């Protein structure tokens, strides 16, 4: 079993999970005999559970019930540890090999200066269901408590696509991105996560147009300083794909291009569309 450093925020949760995995639970049968139980393997992996149509949107681990106590009140530290252990065991099942792999990842992620663990693009369809939003929020907060730093890119709905000459300010695209970012931010806060909503990413996303006569498509350049600062401060950046062009004008960027550009710049362990 991989060693978990005591300084990690998810240390106690992972130590408990390790104990559960290394020692099968003992229960008593009605006749007083002892029976050993093992955690059965789960078909899912720790990487992601789709929360939305077409596999878009990402949610890890637990699907929280709407109206549950955790939805109404911030969980206590003890409840968070219990839920994190349960989520971890639910994902890895009884597979010690997978558990060792993830415990090693938790250990490596404890450095304050470490880069993003994952860049996730969240499809707008996730926000059609409150349960999916809270499932996503719990998964992201779980990663944060394990010091595995996620970066979130918000997706646009099909009806919010914009032409190149349409103004962004006050458009349905801008309103939709802001509303969904607010919704996810509130859900993350309810799950005890620290979050930094970036309603405009003009300060670090720049669209480079191809030179005249070139057939190359435009590309998105990323200045990672603000994102790395937010990760080092222990916050989850929620990025709206709104950048600027070479003239300094605001424009809506393709969310998948933004996700790919962030992945190239941050070199995360996982990229999830």
Question: What residue ranges do the domains of the chain occupy?
Answer: 11-272
Mean pLDDT of the chain: 74
Q: Which of the listed CATH numbers 3.40.1000, 3.30.70, 3.40.1160, 3.30.1490 matches domain 11-272?
A: 3.40.1160
- Between CA 203 and CA 91 the distance in angstroms is 37
* Stretch 90-102: mean pLDDT: 71
- Between CA 39 and CA 206 the distance in angstroms is 49
- Between CA 115 and CA 7 the distance in angstroms is 18
* Stretch 245-250: mean pLDDT: 87
- Between CA 211 and CA 73 the distance in angstroms is 54
pTM for the full model?
Answer: 0.67
Give the CA radius of gyration of the chain: 21
Does residue 146 surpass a pLDDT of 50? yes
Check residue 208 and give its pLDDT. 87
C-alpha closest to that of 59 among 152, 129, 140, 162: 140
- Between CA 61 and CA 104 the distance in angstroms is 19
Helix (H) or strand (E) holding 143: helix 130-145
71 against 121, higher pLDDT = 121
pLDDT tens-digit readout, 18-27: 555 455 544 4
């Amino acid at each position: 079993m991989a060693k978990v450093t005591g300084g990690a925020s998810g240390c106690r949760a992972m130590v408990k999970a390790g104990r559960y995995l290394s020692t099968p639970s003992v229960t008593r049968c009605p006749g007083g005999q002892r029976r050993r139980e093992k955690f059965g393997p789960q078909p899912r992996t720790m990487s992601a559970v789709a929360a939305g149509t077409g596999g878009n949107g990402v949610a890890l681990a637990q699907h929280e019930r709407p109206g549950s106590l955790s939805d109404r009140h911030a969980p206590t530290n003890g409840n968070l540890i219990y839920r994190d252990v349960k989520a971890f065991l639910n994902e890895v099942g009884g597979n010690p090999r997978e558990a060792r792999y993830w415990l090693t990842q938790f250990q490596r992620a404890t450095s304050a200066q470490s880069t993003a663990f994952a860049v996730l693009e969240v499809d707008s369809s996730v926000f059609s269901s409150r349960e999916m939003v809270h499932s996503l929020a719990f998964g992201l907060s779980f990663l944060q408590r394990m010091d595995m730093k996620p970066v979130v890119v918000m997706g646009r709905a099909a009806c919010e696509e914009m032409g190149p000459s349409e103004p962004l300010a006050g458009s349905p695209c801008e309103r939709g991105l802001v509303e969904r970012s607010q919704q996810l931010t509130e859900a993350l806060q309810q799950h005890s996560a620290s979050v930094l909503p970036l309603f405009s990413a003009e300060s670090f996303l720049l669209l480079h147009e191809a030179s005249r006569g070139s057939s190359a498509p435009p590309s998105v350049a990323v200045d990672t300083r603000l994102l790395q600062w937010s990760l080092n401060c222990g916050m989850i950046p929620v990025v709206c794909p709104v950048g600027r062009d070479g003239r300094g004008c605001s424009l809506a960027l393709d969310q998948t291009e933004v996700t790919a550009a962030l992945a190239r710049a941050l070199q995360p362990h996982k990229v999830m569309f």
